[in-house]
Amino acid sequence: MIKPHGSKELTPLYVEDPEQRAALEKVAAELPSLLLDSAAAANAVMLGAGYFSPLFGYMNLADALSVAENMRTTDGLFWPVPIMNRTDAIDSLRDAHRIALLDPNVEGNPVLAVQNVEKIEEIPDELLKRIAEHTFGTTDTGHPGVATFMSSGRYAISGPIQVLNYSYFEKDFPATFRTAPQIRDLISKNNWEKVVAFQTRNPMHRAHEELCKMARETVNADGILIHMLLGKLKPGDIPADVRDAAIRKMVELYFPENTVEITGYGFDMLYAGPREAVLHAIFRQNAGCTHLIVGRDHAGVGDYYGPFDAQAIFNDIPEGTLEIEIFMADHTAYSKKLNRVVMLRDAEDHTQDDFVMLSGTKVREMLAAGEELPEEFARPEVAHILMGFYQSEAGR
């Protein structure tokens, strides 16, 4: 199986042994505590689940800046985005060597992890803007990822962590949430050698379905990992439970048996475009996938990135840095001339009118009004699940 990124073995930071975990929970109860923001909590979950191997905790300011500017930590590890724990609430932590990290996303704010404090550093405004500019390509707070990043706190707390649980993800998504080691186990049990990963934060329409099938056939893969984001999104995006149900129905009815694993991961979307695409590649490599589909405007938002910027960035990565291979996809749509879904780059003799295309706004309006989507655009069983969601939202 493909090796993890930057190491021969995964380094999940979740404390597996129940006795050790119980002992650490007792210790945590006596430690100074910090209520994390959602971004730092998501980072802890990803560290615990092995997706961020070989990192051992939150980055200090020097590493965060080096990663933002050069995509490498100060000791040379290739990494595309800063992984930080930031806060304004440091008064009770200034002399602490170890702190309990509290979960902001679970009622009662239980301890999510324990951190050894190596540094607490104030981040000057200009440095924060530099990190944002390199990571997101902009400092415009109209960008949802930038808005979150710029408001996350003026102090960076760095150091290794030990993770005690996976926040709400295991409870809320027991059939879907999987760690990187668990996905590697799935791949091994299926006897899959080549695995294509498909990243999604949205429901999958007909074009996404066919794209996965095209990628599997093109690279001669044994299976497809549909790997959905289960964490926080921007307002207006479809909740994870609705996406999960829609994707499961699509796979059940329209994919060959035993060719797809449906899984999810506990992270908040960054909307960082090219940099996030590279992060997606790293944690899919850590999960054992050999290929990642990177499509048009992958991990983007609005007009902040060019349609193929998330593909072009992989051309600038030194050869051998990543073992996972990138399947570079164009926009896909149903061709009325060919009576099948195609990539636009493969349909040179087409005009816009030859494709079945609907804007996101139009799709939402139709579903909320109870109107059927064209079957060329969405499978009817999937559309009905989404219709139920939008109609319930409209009725509130």
Distances (CA, A) of 323 to 19, 32, 187, 375, 383: 36, 41, 17, 38, 37
CA distances from 207 to 38, 202, 228 (A): 32, 12, 16
Q: Which residue among the candidates 130, 154, 202, 248 is catalytic per the annotation?
A: 202
Whether 202 is a known active-site residue: answer yes
Q: Which of 313, 278, 311, 306 is nearest to 294 (CA)?
A: 311
Q: Out of 201, 206, 243, 284, pick the active-site residue.
A: 201
Of 214, 224, 254, 217, the C-alpha closest to 382 is: 254
How far apart CA 263 and CA 176 sit, in angstroms, is 5
Active site residue 216: no
Helix, strand, or coil (residue 328): strand
- State how far the Cα of 99 lies from the Cα of 87, in Å rounded to an integer: 13
Distance CA(38)–CA(30), nearest Å, equals 23
DSSP string, 163-189: E---TTHHHH-TTTB--HHHHHHHHHH
The number of angstroms, rounded, from the C-alpha of 57 to the middle of its chain's C-alpha atoms is 18
Catalytic residue numbers, as ranges: 201-202
